[in-house]
Amino acid sequence: MSLETISPASMDTFSLSQPHTFNEFAESRSWEPGWLADYRHDCWEKFASLPKRILKDERWRFSPRTRFGFDQISGLSLPKESLTLAVPSLSDGLSIDLFDQLLLEEPHALTLLTKLMGPDLGADDYSFLTGAFAQTGFLLRANKGVAGVSPIIIEHQEPEAGQIAFHHNLIVLDANTEVTIVERFVGQANNPGGCISNLLKVQLGEGARLNRIVIQECSSKATIVQMENFNIGKNAYLNSTNLHLGGSQSRIESKGILKEPGAHFEYGSVFLGNEEQLFDQRTIQVHEAPHCTSNLLCKNALRKEAKSIFSGLIKVDEEAQHTDAYQTNRNLLLSSEAEADSLPGLEILANEVKCSHGATTSRIDPQELFYLHSRGISKVEAEKLIALGFLSESLLNIDHQETRDTALNALADAFSS
Amino acid sequence: MISPSQVEVDRDKGNFHYDTDYSFDAGIGLSEDVIRYISEVKEEDPWVLDFRLKALKTFEKKPMPTHWATEDLKNINFDVIRYYLAKGQKPSRTWDEVPDDVKNTFERLGIPEQERKFLAGVEAQFDSEAAYSRMNEELEKEGVIFVGSTEGLKEHPEIFRKWFGKVIPTSDNKFSALNSAVFSGGSFIYIPPGVKLAQPLQAYFRINAENFGQFERTLIIADEGSEVMYMEGCTAPKFETSTLHSAVVELVALKGAKIQYVTVQNWSNNVFNLVTKRALAEEEAEVRWIDCNIGSRLTMKYPGVILRGRKARGEVVSIALANDGQHQDTGAKMVHAADETSSNVVSKSISIGEGRSSYRGLVQMPGHLKGCKNNTECDALLINNNSQTDTYPAITVQGDANSVQHEASVSKVSAEQIFYMQQRGLGEAEAMSLCVNGFVNDLIREFPMEYSVELKRLIDLEMEGSVG
């Protein structure tokens, strides 16, 4: 039996609030190994037992949570179209595979996916549903000492309106490896407005380096939920640079856990908001071990009625002496209806630490505008130049030139539209 | 490497108590009868009783805010608390009339000396009611009113009823509702237009009885162009069981008025100190909360200013010191509701031993406003390796005509700093004390002279033996 003929996307009465939806889905996947079936069932049970209405949840503070509801969703997107890879010639010991292929060829490789945790920063519903329904995702593995030269490109496709795509992804880098990946979230041209729920779990071994660049250009009707959990080992280095442009509403949950001494977490995020876009971002830097460093910079520029929420926390455990951790949120408001909410938090239990956070929200300095204006640059153009300069800081740190140009061009295009 | 040992806090100044016979006692636990009893002995107007009874219902309905606040709140047992204890209903006007045991208490705390030295008016609250209240006669002639809450509502309803419960509505939070139900004591102050008080007014709050809850209610109205500084101090003896202090303080600064509210909180460390403080600032008015929290088991206090008039200004300056078994959960709220309003928050905290200090902040600027500014700085110093500090600000800004900046840092006294000073002949403890004093020095200067000297001394004492 081919997978397509029983794709649950064709189910008549698909609804994520109905148990029969999951039961029919599970039945259609009865060929899967038992441990995966159990995992899916367990995730569904957890989703089903979530309280229906929570009035006050600090993890959703300031967020209009109804915009992330499931009422409009009437089917699952086809896994084949939902996620594609562009893989350069890879060195031996470095591999990237799709979840559905691996399931047929090497199912055991996926067991780690069920053991690692998600970020657990509030979107429990999406996280459990992804565990229960994911049919695709990527698994990137690097054996000890392997370095990838050119970046691996992963494309997440926005589904058609009414459909939801669940991607469950895993990156495991062994000791002393280095890999660069570019994850692109691509918009739907015909009938846009689908939902992507993307769950990524990362494990970095001793001295491993992962450079990850995310460029999100979904349609302006899409719903995007990204959940990512980075487990960073001894002297390992994670660099994640994120450009968010599309989406009607996005929820981004990023967790960096510095598990062993010498680990470093570098995170940069850029959001350009327009119209009624909502960008709801939650981050946490967890310092579990001593002598680790982390640095996070989130910049949002908001036009029209766009709204951003930044909620970040630096958590330093008692054992994590000699921690160096920074967190910065900068918001630029470009219209009188834009709104920026900022919740920068610190929880420090060790005393030999250097920790600080800063949050600022402001408009463009009129003096800067005047300076450009007096040199013949129109007000609109001047605003654009200043805003681009403000946003591009993180993107300029992308090492791979082609990717950097792609990101900068995408940002400039978004501003002109 | 510095290995600090336990630090002992000097709270001995307040740690004594005399047995007292109370003429008025509402018994143990909270019920409608207790509230009717309180209202009856105070001979209150019917509307005040209604206000209290409604508040009781609100209190019973409201959940504990443990979805964001510490679980320690669950350890408060409202059924064993005594809600009203008083020796008499009228405060004495001269020191000689004050009952001996109460007089001894305040004399040990140095109240009469301070009054003679530099105060324009003083009120001393002993459990539920003020035992002593005195105003400078000249100020009284100018129309300044400085009375207790009962007297304020009864004798001057035309002034106080208008604002009573308006800055902080009963349903603001569970503890403001509790206070609204059982409030007693506190200060109701009115400063007439243009009157500028050269000397501060002071209130002194004392909990004397075990298992007692103190619920004072303060309302200060500064009429147009007036200026006032109000100071409060609090102490309680160390009892075996915990005690509750839950005040509501409302400030109203009318056009161009200035209010400074200074608190030095040194409750013994079995007191739950859950206080709601908020001010309303009209056009060009200025409100400053100057706050120092040294005592208590758990303090939750976030003084706020609602900046309602153009060019109003709000400020919170706070110092918190958390030692073993203490959680200082303090912060500030700045609600901008008019153009060109500005606010400033400077908060410094020191955590010693297993102490925990938290900063919670709220800044709001809606989009229709122009030219609003906020600046927030929170710095935390951690002395021992099991000390804890948290920062949880919440900032909402709409529109492109306002600006906000927030910054927080956490640090410890570095070994290099200590080493540098030791090289120059200072002892290790001395060096540590110097560093900590340097950390809070710029804020201590904001306190009135009498307090800043006291605070410096207190911090020196705290630091004694913290290194070795």
Tokens 């990838």 appear where? A148
Cα B214 from chain centroid?
13
Say yes or no to pLDDT of B114 above 80. no
User: Residue B322 CB: number of other CB atoms within 10 A?
Assistant: 30
| Min Cα separation B183/chain A (Å) | 29
Can you tell me whether residue A315 is helix, strand or coil? strand
Chain B residues with CB-CB distance to A337 below 8 A: 367, 398-399
* Chain B closest-CA separation from residue A285 CA (Å): 14
In this structure, what is the dihedral angle of CA atoms B156, B158, B162, B163, given to the nearest 10 degrees?
Answer: -30
Nearest to B398 among A339, A343, A362 (CB): A339
Are A361 and B403 a contacting pair at CB < 8 A?
Answer: yes
CA atoms of B188 and B208, how far apart (whole Å): 22
| Count of C-beta atoms within a 10 Å radius of residue A19 | 11
Q: Which two tokens stand for residue A157?
A: 């496709």
Quickly list H helices, A98-229. Answer: 99-105, 111-115, 124-133
Beta-carbon-side half-sphere exposure of residue B29 (alpha carbons within 13 Å): 4
Query: Residue B327 above 70 pLDDT?
Result: yes
Tokens of B253: 């600064």
Structure confidence at residue A45 (pLDDT)? 96
Can you name the residues that pair with B283 across neighbouring β-strands?
A: none
Residue B467 lies in a domain: no
Domain hosting residue B201, numbered range? 24-426
**Is residue B2 in some structural domain?**
no
Residues in B closer than 8 angstroms to A318, CB to CB, are: 385-386
- Give the residue from A286, A283, A296 showing the smallest Cα distance to A330: A296
> What size, in residues, is chain A?
417
Least confident stretch, A364-373, B84-93, B114-123, B321-330: B114-123
The pLDDT tens digits of the residues spanning B262-274 come to 998 888 888 999 9
Write down the pLDDT at residue B431. Answer: 86
Kind and range of the H or E element at B460?
A: helix B449-463
Residues of chain B contacting A336 with CB distance shorter than 8 Å: 367-368, 398-401
Residues 6+ apart with CB under 8 A from B35: B49, B52, B53, B56, B181, B182
Question: Which chain A residues are closer than 8 Å to B408 by Cβ?
Answer: 344, 346, 356-358
Q: Give A 88-127 residues with CB within 8 A of chain B.
A: none
Torsion of CA A345, A347, A348, A353, to 10 degrees: -30
Rounded distance, CA B380 to CA B346, Å? 11
CB distance B398–A333 less than 8 Å? yes
For chain B, what is the domain count?
Answer: 1
- Do the chains contact at B410 and A348, CB–CB below 8 Å? yes
Identify any residues that bridge with B288 across adjacent strands, giving them in sequence order.
B260, B315
Q: Is B445 exposed, middle or buried (0-12, 13-18, 19+ CB in 10 A)?
A: exposed
Answer yes or no: do B67 and A58 touch at CB < 8 A. Answer: yes
Strands B403-411 and A353-362: antiparallel
Q: Which two tokens stand for residue A144?
A: 């000890």
Collapsing DSSP to helix, strand or coil, A4 comes out as helix
Sign of CA dihedral A104, A109, A114, A118: negative
Residues in B closer than 8 angstroms to A341, CB to CB, are 394-397
Does B399 sit within 8 Å of A333, measured CB to CB? yes
pLDDT higher than 80, residue B2: no
Q: What does the radius of gyration of chain A's CA atoms come to, in whole angstroms?
A: 21
What is the predicted pLDDT for the residue at A9? 46
**Residue A215 near residue A183 (C-beta atoms within 8 A):** yes
DSSP H/E element including A221: none
Give me the pLDDT at residue A57, please. 86
Asked if A51 is an interface residue toward chain B (Cβ–Cβ < 8 A), one would say no
Q: Which residue positions in chain A have pLDDT lower than 50? A: 1-10
Structure tokens at A403: 């990717």
Confidence of residue B116 (pLDDT cuts 50, 70, 90): low
Q: Are strands B286-293 and B304-307 parallel, antiparallel or unpaired?
A: unpaired
Helices (H), B167-266: 174-182
Give the percent of chain B with pLDDT over 70: 92
Which segment of A48-57, A282-291, B218-227, B244-253 scores lowest on mean pLDDT? A48-57
Using alpha carbons only, what angle is made at residue A247 by residues A246 and A251, rounded to the nearest 5 degrees?
Answer: 115
Which residues in chain A are closer than 8 Å to B386, comparing Cβ atoms? 318, 349
Instruction: Please give the full DSSP string across B275-306, using - where no structure is assigned.
Output: EEEEEEE-TT-EEEEEEEE---SEEEE--EEE
* Chain A stretch 222-281, residues whose beta carbon is closer than 8 A to a beta carbon of chain B: none
Residue B355 CB contacts under 8 Å (≥ 6 apart), including other chains: B321, B322, B323, B324, B325, B326, B327, B328, B387, B388
In sequence order, what DSSP letters do the residues of B9-27 get, joined into one string? ---TTT--------SEE--
Give burial (CB, 10 Å; 0-12/13-18/19+) of A59: middle
- The pLDDT confidence band at residue B462, using thresholds 50, 70 and 90, is low
Percent of chain B predicted with pLDDT > 90: 56
A376 φ/ψ sector (left φ>0, alpha ψ -120 to 50, else beta): left
A336 with B399: Cβ contact below 8 A: yes
Q: B293 vs chain A: nearest CA distance in angstroms?
A: 20
pTM: 0.89
* Residue A302 pLDDT: 96
How many angstroms away from the CA of B357 is the closest CA of chain A? 10
CA distance A125 to chain B (A): 19
pLDDT band at residue B128, thresholds of 50, 70 and 90? confident
Residue of chain B minimizing CA distance to A353: B411
Q: Would you place residue B62 in the very low, low, confident or very high pLDDT band (cuts 50, 70, 90)?
A: very high
What is the rounded CA–CA span in Å between residue A229 and residue A328?
20
Handedness of CA B50, B51, B53, B58 (dihedral sign): positive
- The one-character DSSP state at B43 is T
Return the structure tokens found at A259.
């598990």
Pair B269, B294: CB distance under 8 Å: no
Q: Which two tokens stand for residue B243?
A: 């005690």
Tokens, residue B34: 């207790």
Q: Of B198, B200, B257, which Cα lies nearest the Cα of B229?
A: B200
| Mean model confidence pLDDT for chain B | 87
In a domain, B282, yes or no: yes
Kindly determine whether residue A360 and residue B405, on different chains, have CB atoms separated by under 8 Å: yes
Distance CA A131, CA A143 (A): 26
Tell me what the mean pLDDT of segment B218-241 comes to. Answer: 87
Strand, coil or helix: what is B313? Answer: strand
Query: What confidence tens digit (pLDDT) does each residue in B415-444 have?
Result: 888 899 999 999 888 888 888 888 888 888
The token pair at A237 is: 């280095």
ipTM passes above 0.90: no
Spell out the domain ranges in chain A.
15-363
For residue A2, the model assigns a pLDDT of 39
- For residue A334, what is the nearest residue in chain B, using CA coordinates? B400
| CB of A294 closer than 8 Å to CB of A314 | yes
Rounded-to-integer distance, Cα A197 and Cα A247, Å:
12
Which of B354, B355, B330, B332 lies closest to B343 in space, CA to CA?
A: B332
Residue B216 included in any domain:
yes
CB contact under 8 A, A341 and B402: no
**pLDDT (0 to 100) of residue A194:** 95
Q: Residue A6 phi/psi, 5° resolution? A: -110, 20
Please give the Cα distance from B135 to B200 (Å, whole number). 11
Q: What angle do CA B223, B225, B228 make, to 5 degrees?
A: 70
Task: Please tell me the distance from the alpha carbon of residue A165 to that of residue B138, in angstroms, as a whole number.
Answer: 78
Question: Across the interface, do A361 and B401 touch by the CB < 8 Å criterion?
Answer: no
DSSP 8-class letter at B212: B
Q: In B, what residues contact A, Cβ < 8 A?
A: 67-68, 367-368, 380, 382-412
Contact in structure between B231 and B291 (CB atoms under 8 Å): no
